[in-house]
Amino acid sequence: MAFEDALKEPALLLKKQPKAMLPSILSLVPGILFIALIAVFLSTHAGLFNAGNAQKALANPSAAVEKIASLVGQVLLPIIAIILISWMIELLLSLVFVQISIQARQKRKEVSLNGAFSNSFKDLARLAGASLAAYFVVLVALAGAAIAAIALVMIASAVFGSAGNVAGIIIAFLFGLVGVIALIAGAVVFGFAFWIMPTVVVIENKGGFEAFKRSLELSRRTPLQFVALMLVAGVISLVVSKIASLIALIPFAGYALAQVMALPFNAWAFLLPPYFYFEYLQKKK
C-alpha cells in the first residue's frame, strides 16, 4: 500500500485543494523568458537571414565568422541568466511543494501558499549549497570513473594483448559490462539523492554537503521502490507529453494550452519526493 499511497496521495491533495498546484505556474517562466529572448533577437536582426547577407557571408567567410561570434556574445549572457533562473525556480518549487505536503499531513483545511513560499525562501540557500556540493561530487566521481576505465583498458591491453584477439574482445566486453552496470547503479543512487534532497533539507533541517550525504544514505534503503516509482512516473509523463504535443499543434493558442494542461502533472511530480519520504523513509529513521 505504501507504493500506491506515494502515487495517490499527491493526486488526492491536488484534487481536494486545487490551489496547491498554483506554484507550478512558476515553471513556465524560463520558457517565457527564452521565447522573449528569441523574439527580441529576431526583431533586432530581422535582415540577418536574407539572401543578400548569405551571399556576403560566402564571399567573406572571415567577416561572417566574426559576425556570428558577435551575435553569440550578445545572446550568451541572457541564455546563462535564463539557465540560472530556471535552476533557482526548480529549487524553490521543490521546497515549496515539500512545505505544501507538510501542511497537508498536518490536516489543514487549506494550504497556505504564503507560508510555503516564506519558509522555502529561508531554505533556498541551504538547498542551493547542497546542490552545488552534489554537482561537485558527481563531477569528481565521473572523472574518477573515466580515469579508472582508461587505466583498466591499458592494463588489459598490456596483460592480455598477446593472448589473441578473441581474449581481448572478451576482456573488453567484460570491462564494458561492468562499466555499464556501475553507470546504471550510480545513476540510480545519485538520481535518488538529487530527487530526495529538498525533502531532506526541509524535514531533517540539513544543508550543504550534509544534506547530500544524508540523501545518499537514504538511497540505499529503497532503491527498487524508487526505480519502480520513476518508471510509473515516466510512463505517465510520456502520456502527458504526447497529449500536450498534440494540443500544441492547435493554431495560435496551442502551445499555451499545452503548457497549462501540464501544470497539474508538474505539481504532482513535485509532490512525489516528500510523499515517498513519508511512506518509505520517515518510518525507518
- How many C-beta neighbours within 10 Å does residue 257 have? 14
Closest CA to 14 of 4, 29, 24: 24
Three-state SS for 8?
helix
Amino acid at 185: A
Distance CA 189, CA 134 (A): 12
Higher pLDDT, 52 or 80: 80
Q: Is the pLDDT of residue 91 over 90?
A: yes
Distance CA 54, CA 62 (A): 13
Extended beta strands in the chain, E state:
none
Amino acid at 237: S
- pLDDT digit string (tens) for 207-251? 888 888 888 888 888 778 888 888 888 888 888 888 877 877 777
What percentage of the chain carries pLDDT values higher than 70? Answer: 80
- pLDDT digit string (tens) for 115-159? 899 999 999 999 998 888 888 888 888 787 777 767 766 666 666
For residue 97, CA distances in Å to 27, 116, 255, 277 come to 13, 8, 25, 13
In sequence order, what are the residues at sequence separation of 6 or more whose Cβ sits closer than 8 angstroms to the Cβ of residue 53?
Answer: 47
- pLDDT digit string (tens) for 72-85? 777 788 899 999 99
Higher pLDDT, 68 or 243: 243
Distance CA 275, CA 212 (A): 19
* Average pLDDT of the residues of the chain: 80
- pLDDT digit string (tens) for 102-112? 998 887 778 88
Distance CA 62, CA 284 (A): 65
In this predicted structure, what is the pLDDT of residue 39?
83
In this predicted structure, what is the pLDDT of residue 100?
93
In sequence order, what are the residues at sequence separation of 6 or more whose Cβ sits closer than 8 angstroms to the Cβ of residue 20?
Answer: 13, 14, 100, 104, 111, 113, 267
Cell 530581422 belongs to which residue? Answer: 46
Distance CA 214, CA 264 (A): 30
Query: Using 50, 70 and 90 to split pLDDT, how confident is the model at 285?
Result: very low
Amino acid at 15: K
Contact 258, 248 (CB under 8 A): yes
Which phi and psi (to 5°) does residue 279 adopt?
A: -80, -35
